[in-house]
Structure 1
Amino acid sequence: MSNTPAAVSTDEASIAETASSDLAKLRRLVLGLFLISACSALYFARDFFMPVVLAFLVAMTLTPIVRFLRKRGVPSALSATLLVVAFATVFGLLAYVVSGPAITLVNDAPSIGRTLAERLRQLQRPIERINDIMQQFDTMTGQVTDPNIEQVALAQPGVVSRAAGSVLSIGTSIGITLVLALFLLASGQMFYEKIVQSFGRMSDKKRALRVVYDVEREISRYLLTIALINSGLGVAIGTGLWIIGVPNAILWGVMAALFNFLPYIGALTTMLVVGVISIVSFDSLSYALLGPGFVLFCNLMEGQLLTPLILGRRLELNAVAIFIAVAFWSWLWGLVGALIAVPLLVVIKVFCDNFESLQSMGNFLAAQQSMEPAETAPDPALPEAPKSGPAVLDVVTSAQP
């Protein structure tokens, strides 16, 4: 007989291998479709998703402070309200202080451009030569517009209407962000209770709590620490530029603090802008170089000494991954997306480090190769146990160190 047990076993193995291969292809196809759908949703519904993501980042940043106050007897709702109000007040004051110099700078942009062109006249001659060549090329190819041909231009909305619409949209986004962050911070133990109730076995409940605590601790401490470091950097740069005599030093300090969330690119942009303002403001070119030189010095001290000393090197990211993330999120959400690209990348890396199936992805995002599994050390400041039932109470109590 041809249907021997060995032949049947071989056929079954072949069928199982084919089914496994087809299932893997189907999973990759579904994953690709999901990523395309997610990117499309994030792009076309950015007015909804952007405030939500910002609210989660703000909540994660302020979580260590809420947890610290809760251990001292302050209710989460009260501390969350005070923190969000303080955050909104500081943000509003900075926006009010910076708005005046920013508007003046925009109005003076033409005169600044003329002054800069006069100061850099010797560098402008090659550019003028290139422009002449391009005009000659346009003339030869017939791309010069005939003045006798009437052109029709579509009327665009006025500057005032566009500005009003932008201010209204920004105000709405900020309001949604702050309100949602307040609810997230004031929710207290509800998030942990829902996670515990989502699992059936006690071991799964404990492991889920460990992972959630570790991820939240690392992300919240990173975001809070980076926010404080960038704020200190902005204060240092603003103070130094004020001493040097650079106009609108507060504006450049705020710009340095915000743009420092963009590694490499942010510091370079701040240095170039301060350099242009210094060249326009001072007669001596050597003295004008003090402003961008001071910005460069502060960013080098922050990036090479202060941040590694405080945060360590566990959360350092691959430079290629940083540039890809910044390019992707800036394409999706513009400047806001570029500023939150690195914090979101850190969130993704921490999640990958805490799940065994995703550790290869976390290793790719890391600056240095490290094949050791991430340790999930117990949090010394775990929240108090939720009171939604004996089983939940036992799980959280046993999860505490």
Structure 2
Amino acid sequence: MLYFGRDVLIPITLAFILSFVIAPFVRALRHVGLGQTTSVCTGVLLVTVSLLGIGAVIVQQVGAMGASLPRYQDTITSKLEALDELTRGTLGSLGGPAGQLIEHFTSDSADGAQAVLQNDGSIKTPVLVEIHEPALKPFQLLGKIVAQVWPPLETAGIVFVVLIFVLLEHESLRDRFIRLAGGGDLRATTIAVNDAGERLSRFFISQFLVNLATGLAVWLGLALLGVGQALLWGTMTAVLRFIPYVGVWMAAFCATLLAAAVDPGWSLALMTLGLFLAVEIIVAQTIEPKLYGHTTGLSPLSVVVSAIFWSWIWGPVGLVLSTPLTLCLVVAGRYIRALKVLEIMFGELPALTLPQNFYQRALSGDAHEIVTSAKRYMQHKSLAEYCDGVLLPALHLAHFDLKDNSITPVEREKVASSVIAVIEALSGAQKWWKRRKHASVLGGGIGRQLRERRISDSGEWQGSFDVPPGSLVLSIALGTQYGELATEILVRILREQKIDARSSSLDELEQVPPPGASPELVAIVVLVSVDPLNDCDKMTATLARFREQVPHAKQFALLLPSPFENPDLKTCVFPSADHVARSYDDVLQHCQLAMKGGAK
């Protein structure tokens, strides 16, 4: 339907796209006090005059360039001959229009005809015969011109007529679309329509300003270099840059060819190409990302794919319209559930969340990619924030599958080894790429293995008790062995901040402090629970017990429930605790404050 109806659909689509560009200007005129019809006619007239001005500049510049080309014929001929010799005749053997053009410049045909020796010894010069078509009559010439000019004029006329009516009935069309798309949910449909309109308006206005600035920069640069028709190439750059990826290089190729024809050497051509390259790099890498790099919401691959598809369906016009048309599809997929696949395929938002991505990579055993992603995340975040936002939710996802027995032993091994590698790499312990014997089960096996490795490096109880009073933080896991892993992560977060933290499970710890340590060494006791609803009574009893054993130490309760279950923790109240934390970052900050207060 898109292909066979292109003669009708292309003008209508162009009109609707232009309406997004002109609509802000029309609204501004209406705010000034002009009527709806006057504002619309003024906006359309302004666009018409601008396009006619651009067309006049291009026609005038092309005419001037055509008149000056014969002067450059010798330079073109010499350079083509040099290139033909350099390519060992390959250039001269080209067929088609390119080969005919090269042969025209490089052939040494004489002005007159060659003499022919007859059998009787006489010399006879053949008579040259030229075939001329009869001169066209005025009406025939007029008809030929009209036949060539009429199709684009017809398309332009339809575009502007439809554009006027679209702008005049802008509010009515919006209401009709809302009724058609989702009259039952006016709020969601209104948000979708407004989002699409704002995104398209911002994108086109930003793109117009960027392309205009790029054209001006190319014009001024080529004028300073002395390239002929610099205004033409600047205008072509501004216009062709609406075609993604290839438009600017089409203008660069033409301008470089002219520079090569003007200058006997190659310096002017190289400087011309270098100017386009420098301007495009600056604009594409610095200006565009800041102006509308994330305005469209399209992934780079989707822009390329959409350009190929729409250019195949609608030709050059489809290439220009590919980005806004795909943007409309992505916005529709964002708000219409049946079209959600379009946002996932073409949108810039990640298809998987960071925890899902972590767990997926862990199932594949790709610890290296997880570490790389984590270090990129931690360029702007702390280790505690990474564990809160990525690592712990990913472990909950793995824990769900483990409880349901929905992963195979091989997958368990991959997840366990990946988690160990990532935690050790991020906490500055053993390098992640060194091979070790990994845990065979997910949960307690990982936590105890990580703790045993620290014990092997630092001794029993993860270090000596010959430390200043009030310098230890005891992290104790409640409940399941999965809590031991969460406790070990907390210890490594605290140690990364130079806090002497040590871990244990409640079943292993008979008293606080452990044998061989004086009570004065302990500054903070942190009880960690990954299932607070079931551990509530045990948490209350343990807090009361430790309050008697180490009354001077602060007691923190760290609750780390699954973020995917949204448990109601209002019943989990611990009045005897000095602080109840619900994230690693929260407990880290309170530990730092408590340690500083104890030091004072």
Fold match by TM threshold 0.5: yes
Aligned residue number for residue 324 of structure 1: 305
TM-score, with length taken from structure 2: 0.47
Flag the 1:105–1:252 CA change in 2: closer, same or farther, 3 A: same
Determine if the alignment matches structure 1 residue 100 to structure 2 residue 60: yes
Equivalent pair of 1:116/1:276 in contact (CA under 8 Å): no
Determine if the alignment matches structure 1 residue 183 to structure 2 residue 165: yes
Distance 2:70 2:352 in 1: 55
Counterpart of 2:14 (choices 47, 54, 59) is 54
Distance 2:92 2:224 in 1: 43
Letter in 1 for 2:213: G
Distance 1:261 1:81 in 2: 25
**Unmatched tracts of structure 2, length 5 or more:** 96-132, 354-600
**Unmatched tracts of structure 1, length 5 or more:** 1-37, 136-154, 373-401
Note the C-alpha offset of 1:58: 0.7
Determine if the alignment matches structure 1 residue 218 to structure 2 residue 236: no
Aligned residue number for residue 313 of structure 1: 294
Distance 2:256 2:182 in 1: 61
Equivalent pair of 1:326/1:341 in contact (CA under 8 Å): yes
**What secondary structure, in the 3-state scheme, does the structure 1 residue paired with 2:294 have?**
coil
Aligned residue number for residue 48 of structure 2: 88
Flag the 1:196–1:331 CA change in 2: closer, same or farther, 3 A: closer
Letter in 2 for 1:64: P
Aligned residue number for residue 22 of structure 1: none
Instruction: Calculate the aligned-residue CA RMSD, in Å.
Output: 3.1
1:148-174: CA deviation from partner (whole Å, max 9, x where unpaired): xxxxxxx9xx99666532311111111
Distance 1:198 1:358 in 2: 16
Kindly indicate which of the two structures has a greater share of residues assigned to strand: 2
Aligned residue number for residue 255 of structure 2: 274
Aligned residue number for residue 41 of structure 1: 4
Note the C-alpha offset of 1:342: 2.5
State the percentage of identical aligned residues. Answer: 23
Aligned residue number for residue 314 of structure 2: 333
Aligned residue number for residue 584 of structure 2: none
Q: 5 Å matches for 1:2-401?
A: 38-42=1-5, 46-105=6-65, 115-125=75-85, 127=87, 129-130=89-90, 163-195=145-177, 197-198=179-180, 204-315=185-296, 317-367=298-348, 369-371=350-352
Note the C-alpha offset of 1:126: 5.5
Equivalent pair of 1:199/1:205 in contact (CA under 8 Å): no
Equivalent pair of 1:326/1:338 in contact (CA under 8 Å): yes
1:77-128: CA deviation from partner (whole Å, max 9, x where unpaired): 2222111101101111111121122245457778867743522433323656
Note the C-alpha offset of 1:197: 5.0
Equivalent pair of 1:101/1:248 in contact (CA under 8 Å): yes
Q: Which has the higher contact order (CA 8 A, sep 6+)?
A: 1
Equivalent pair of 1:237/1:294 in contact (CA under 8 Å): yes
Flag the 1:265–1:309 CA change in 2: closer, same or farther, 3 A: same
Equivalent pair of 1:279/1:288 in contact (CA under 8 Å): yes
Distance 1:361 1:259 in 2: 28
Letter in 2 for 1:41: F
* Matched residues, number: 310
Larger-Rg structure: 2
Equivalent pair of 2:182/2:189 in contact (CA under 8 Å): no
Aligned residue number for residue 25 of structure 1: none
